[in-house]
Structure 1
Amino acid sequence: MLSKAQIKYIQSLQNKKNRQKSSQYIAEGDKIVQELLQAGMPVKVVYATKDWLEAHANLLSRLPADSVKEVDGAVLKQLSALTTPHNAMALLDMPRAEVQLPQPGTVVLALEAIQDPGNMGTLIRIADWFGIPQIVCSPDCVDVYNPKTIQATMGSIARVGISEYDIKELLQHTSLPSYAATLHGKDITTYPVIREGIILIGNEGRGLTSDITDMATHRITIPRLGGAESLNAAVAAGIICGRLLI
């Protein structure tokens, strides 16, 4: 059984201020918790139903016994931010924030002012899908450890390094080419596959700021065949990565 204080603490981590204060966050979802354990992420405690714990006993054997808590559906509902809770959730330590400038021969996804947790989670999944090892987020991006973001990553948070850094400074301190997604750039289908560079994706409503766009070495555009005014930021990133990296 969990104490009222333990339940209250887990619930408090829905709030960004509390996550930052404790340097801990929660991840909800059967598959997500499984992938975090498989990746060796710093899992402090797993809260799960008896059936889930038994099905994943091998993975859980790596954790101390007091880091595995059997709870029933009613308790998971108290802990969860979801209308319909999953069978497992985990408490994790936030990785140490390490800012690493992109190295030659690598591709980095740089995000400016992404605000929607679902979009952020999808962008992390896209980076994972295309083998992009690092995402750089501007300080005004949505919190990466927002529970909705973590869930939207579907476990990809375990395989992509994420840091917070001023995008203008990033561009000032790298010699890598940069590719700014805009509505008025060069047709992306004319570009060859790239092996290094920084792909820049901007805010869902405003796109990239003019300062960032002006600093980019390339301004790229996805050809528009219909009448839509713009593309969702994550959708655009997926198309751009699919064209530039494959």
Structure 2
Amino acid sequence: MVVKSQIKFIKSLQQKKYRILNGMFVVEGVKMVNELLQTTLKLQSLYTTTPELLPSKGFDYQIISEKELQKISSLKSPNKTLAIFHIPDPVPLNFTDWILVLDGVKDPGNLGTIIRLCDWFGIKHLACSTDTVDCFNPKVLQATMGSIARVNTVYTDLEVLIEKLDVPVIGAFMEGESVYKLNWPSRGMLILGNEAHGISKKLELMLHKKVSIPQYGKASAESLNVATATAILLNELRRN
């Protein structure tokens, strides 16, 4: 049985301030929970209505009813399993390869998709401005589909980060050198900006080069979704 104190604690982790305070986050759904159970993330608590769906490796878990799962879930249709993991300690950024940098990305779905894209294209480190949405936000986690455990996501002052490093810094803009013509260096930082305003003026002044995705025909779209743009840019970066 899930007691009131457990319900209150689990529900509190839907908010960033309580995730930071307790150093924990919630993951929901059989597939994602099972995937994260196989990683180095430290498990705090595991709740399930259907224990036979858990991995064969032994984990301590609490069997609960569908009604109890509904009480602790943030989803309209909870999927049999909910787990609480400890937020891992941050790992220093490694600049021997490319680093993806996000400046003020606000939409949880966009960040989650971008983390998944980093995983797909082998980008191990993601640097985010302090005003970028929290990567342990439940909606972000759902969109990552488990990639959160394989991409080191660090929140930092981007101006300070860029100032102290001697690597190429390329920013994505509507106007810039075509991504299909750019000669990508072997390492560096690729920056994408806020969904509405793009890269901040201060960071723009620190760039070594601007890259753009050409628009074809007479399309009326003003810009590409930031996650879609990330997919195109990372594909070209790796292809080159």
TM bracket, shorter-chain basis: over 0.9
1:71 counterpart letter in structure 2:
I
Deviations 1:205-245 (A, max 9, x none): 00001221221111000001122101111111111001111
Q: Is the 1:111–1:200 Cα contact (8 Å) retained in structure 2?
A: yes
Unaligned regions of 5+ residues in structure 1, if any? none
Deviations 1:100-158 (A, max 9, x none): 2442x311111111111111111100100101001011011111111111111110001
Alpha-carbon distance in structure 1 between the residues aligned to 2:7 and 2:36? 22
Question: Does the residue aligned with 1:190 lie in a helix, a strand or coil?
Answer: coil
Q: Is the 2:34–2:55 Cα contact (8 Å) retained in structure 1?
A: no
The equivalent of 2:98 in structure 1 is: 107
More helix by share: 1
Alpha-carbon distance in structure 2 between the residues aligned to 1:201 and 1:15? 26
Whether 1:213 and 2:211 are equivalent positions in the alignment is no
Whether 1:128 and 2:152 are equivalent positions in the alignment is no
Structure 1 residues 193 and 219 mapped into 2: Cα distance closer, same or farther (>3 Å)? closer
The equivalent of 2:109 in structure 1 is: 118
Alpha-carbon distance in structure 2 between the residues aligned to 1:96 and 1:212? 27
Per the TM alignment, residue 193 of structure 1 is displaced from its structure 2 partner at its CA by: 4.9
2:56 counterpart letter in structure 1:
N
1:115 counterpart letter in structure 2:
K
Q: 1:139 aligns with which of 88, 108, 130?
A: 130
Q: Normalization by structure 2: what TM-score?
A: 0.94
The equivalent of 1:79 in structure 2 is: 72
Question: Does the residue aligned with 2:9 lie in a helix, a strand or coil?
Answer: helix
What is the Cα-based RMSD across aligned positions, in Å? 1.3
Question: Does the residue aligned with 2:205 lie in a helix, a strand or coil?
Answer: helix
The equivalent of 2:183 in structure 1 is: 192
Q: What percent of counterpart residues are identical?
A: 36
Q: Is the 1:35–1:158 Cα contact (8 Å) retained in structure 2?
A: no
The equivalent of 1:224 in structure 2 is: 215
Alpha-carbon distance in structure 2 between the residues aligned to 1:138 and 1:222? 23
The equivalent of 1:15 in structure 2 is: 15
Q: Is the 2:182–2:211 Cα contact (8 Å) retained in structure 1?
A: no
The equivalent of 2:233 in structure 1 is: 240
Q: 2:195 aligns with which of 190, 204, 207?
A: 204
2:123 counterpart letter in structure 1:
I
Q: Is the 1:49–1:87 Cα contact (8 Å) retained in structure 2?
A: yes
Alpha-carbon distance in structure 2 between the residues aligned to 1:101 and 1:25? 22
Per the TM alignment, residue 57 of structure 1 is displaced from its structure 2 partner at its CA by: 4.0
1:17 counterpart letter in structure 2:
K
Alpha-carbon distance in structure 1 between the residues aligned to 2:167 and 2:49? 48
Q: Is the 1:102–1:174 Cα contact (8 Å) retained in structure 2?
A: no
Unaligned regions of 5+ residues in structure 2, if any? none
Alpha-carbon distance in structure 2 between the residues aligned to 1:31 and 1:78? 20
Q: 1:92 aligns with which of 85, 89, 110?
A: 85
Alpha-carbon distance in structure 1 between the residues aligned to 2:175 and 2:55? 53
The equivalent of 1:46 in structure 2 is: 46
The equivalent of 1:3 in structure 2 is: 3
1:244 counterpart letter in structure 2:
L
Alpha-carbon distance in structure 1 between the residues aligned to 2:45 and 2:183? 46
Alpha-carbon distance in structure 1 between the residues aligned to 2:145 and 2:75? 15
Deviations 1:57-89 (A, max 9, x none): 413x1x3x3xx1111211111111111111111
Question: Does the residue aligned with 1:215 lie in a helix, a strand or coil?
Answer: coil
Alpha-carbon distance in structure 2 between the residues aligned to 1:167 and 1:222? 23
Q: Normalization by structure 1: what TM-score?
A: 0.92
2:197 counterpart letter in structure 1:
R
